[in-house]
Amino acid sequence: MQNDLKTKVIPNGGIMKEKKNVFDFAAQVGLTKQLGGLKTTDELIALCYIDSSCEVLDVGCGVGVTPCYLAKKIGCTVVGVDILDGMIEWSKKQAERQGVTNRTTFRVADAQELPFEDNRFDAVITESVTSLMKDQPKALQEYVRVTKPGGHVGMNESTWLKSSPPPEVVAWWSVEYGGTPQFHTAEDWVRLMKSAGLKQVTDKTYNISFSSGFTDLVNRYGLWEMLKVYGRMFSLYRRSPEYREFLGNVKESGRMPEGTMEYFGYGIYVGQK
Ligand SMILES: C[S@@+](CC[C@H](N)C(=O)[O-])C[C@H]1O[C@@H](n2cnc3c(N)ncnc32)[C@H](O)[C@@H]1O
């Protein structure tokens, strides 16, 4: 499993190339998250008109939960890409566990340089990924390029619910991610999607519900798998000084600044090519 991003050869890897961050560790323990759980994925499925006849691309698929969910629930075929090969390894295992290897394929790729021909997919979806891109307009252009005319691009993205978030709130999220994500207001996400060539862009924003965070994870992974993830986290903590350092930094950054949740949330954005 490849986890040292400094050695990755993929160009333009967004924040993923600069230093070890939360996703390197996530790729070791086999856990990735989006915001809102399966109900936001269901919303993307509906708004992107995904049915069993579709071929779907999931950009930044993490450990492969959404591609396998789509393949199993809807019966469509899904290609998942992620910049970390550790994520792709987990995704393949996930597809085996879920019995959907015949409808899913996974490969390492950079969202900003997708290795697919123009107009290939009926829908492109992406959950909690585009904020991480160094070149977000380029990533969006890539999503649109590989979508068929008339097909849909759907994003679930971290969103500033109010403009001009206080600097301490922005800084706190950067430590949490171990990088420099660029979140936007809904208005700005919509503008970016339209600039990439999408029409009829719809948006809907949500506050984060901490009370449903664990339930969302259990619904996505199952309780048994979550217990295994915690076991792997504990084992990584014991053997990896870098992981201990990362968690130390998160702890040092202190409690979430007051009022953070007035500013930070997520949005569902869908447009048509
Ligand atoms: C917050 S996780 C979300 C994962 C997944 N969508 C999910 O719902 O579980 C972000 C994912 O984006 C991937 N990623 C970050 N930069 C990327 C890039 N430039 N191209 C492709 N994937 C990227 C990370 O490796 C990570 O798996």
Alpha-carbon span 262 to 200, nearest angstrom: 28
The answer, yes or no, to whether any atom of ligand 1 lies below 6 A from the CB of 29, is no
The answer, yes or no, to whether any atom of ligand 1 lies below 6 A from the CB of 62, is yes
The answer, yes or no, to whether any atom of ligand 1 lies below 6 A from the CB of 67, is no
Residue 196 · residue 124 · CB < 8 Å = no
The answer, yes or no, to whether any atom of ligand 1 lies below 6 A from the CB of 16, is yes
Structure tokens at 263: 């500013």
Q: What is the pLDDT of residues 65-120, one digit of tens each?
A: 999 999 999 999 999 999 999 999 999 999 999 999 999 999 999 999 999 999 99
DSSP reduced 3-state for 175: helix
In this structure, what DSSP letter does residue 113 have?
Answer: B
Nearest atom in ligand 1 to 63's CA: 9
* Residue 44 reports pLDDT greater than 90: yes
**Residue 181's pLDDT band (cuts 50, 70, 90):** confident
The answer, yes or no, to whether any atom of ligand 1 lies below 6 A from the CB of 36, is no
- pTM of the complete model: 0.92
A 10 A CB-CB count for 141 gives 17
Alpha-carbon span 66 to 161, nearest angstrom: 25
Report how far apart, in Å, the C-alpha atoms of 37 and of each of 62, 127, 139, 146, 156 are.
14, 10, 23, 26, 10
* Residue 20 reports pLDDT greater than 80: no
Structure tokens at 129: 């990924």
CATH class label, 5-272: alpha beta
C-alpha angle 14/19/25, rounded to 5°? Answer: 95
Nearest atom in ligand 1 to 127's CA: 6
The strand pair at 104-108 and 55-59 is best described as unpaired
